[in-house]
Structure 1
Amino acid sequence: MAECSNGQSRRFGYAGSVAGDDAGAGTDAGRDCAPPQHALLAAIVRSSHDAIVSMTLDGVVTSWNRSAEELFGYPAAEMIGRHVGVLWPENRGTEQDAVIASVRVGKRVERYRTWRLRRDGTAIEVGITPSPITDDSGAVVGIAAVCRSVSERERAQARYRGLLEEAPDAIVGINANGVIVICNAATERTFGYRRDDLIGQPVELLVPEAARELHIRHRAEYMAHPQLRPLAGHSQLTARRADGTLFPVDISLSWVETDDGVLAAAAVRDVTERLEAEAERDRLKAQAERQRLEGRLQQAQRLESLGQLAGGVAHDFNNLLAVIVNYAAFVSEEIEMAAVADPDRWHSVARDMQQIQRATERGIGLTHQLLAFGRREVVRPRVLSLNAVVSDVKELLIRSIGEHVQLLTELSTGLWPVKADPGQIEQVLVNLAVNARDAMLGGGILTIGTRNMIVGNEAGLPAGRYVAIRVEDTGTGMPREVIGRAFEPFFTTKPKGEGTGLGLATVYGIVRQAGGDVQIASEPGVGTTFTVLLPATDEAPAELEAPVVVGIPSGGGETVLVVEDEPAIREVARRILRRGGYEVLMTESPLDALDVARAHDGRIHLLMTDVVMPKMLGKDVAERVRALRPDVKVIFMSGYARPVLASSGTLEPGVTLLEKPFSEAELLQTVRQVLDGC
Structure 2
Amino acid sequence: MAKKKPPRNNDAPRQNDLTGSLRSLPGSELERARLFLNMAGVMILALDNSGRVAMINRRGCEILGGESEQILGVNWFDHFIPEPRRAQVQRVFQGIVWEKQKSHEYLEGPVLTLQGEQRLIAWHNAVIRDDSGEIIGTLSSGEDVTEIRRAEEELRESRQLYQAFINANRDMIFVKDEHFRYLVANNALVEFFNRPLEDVLERTDFEMMEISAANRCRESDQRALNTNAVVVTEENVGQRIFETTKFTLMLKGDRVGIGGIIRDITERRHGEEERERLREQMALAQKMESVGRLAGGVAHDFNSTLSRIMRHAETALETMDPADPLHTELKEIRRSARRSADLTRQLLAFARKQTSMPRKLNLNDTVGGMLRMLEQLLGDHVQLCWQPGQQVWPVHIDPAQVDQILTNLCINARDAISGKGRVTIETKNLAVENEQLNLHAGFLPGEFIRLSVSDNGCGMDRETLAKVFEPFFSTKETKATPGLGLSTVYGIVKQNGGFIHAYSEPGRGSAFHINLPRHVDQPSAIRPTPVLETDSEKRETILVVEDEPAILKLGQRMLQELGYHVLTAGTPEKAIQVSSACSGPIDLLIVDIILPGMDGCELAAELIRQRPGSRVLFMSGYSENIIHKYSGLENKSRFIQKPFTIRELAASVQEALKNADPRS
Common topology (TM > 0.5): no
Q: Which of these two proteins has the greater Rg computed from alpha carbons?
A: 1
TM-score bin, normalised by smaller chain: 0.3 to 0.5
Q: Calculate the TM-score normalised by the size of structure 1.
A: 0.34
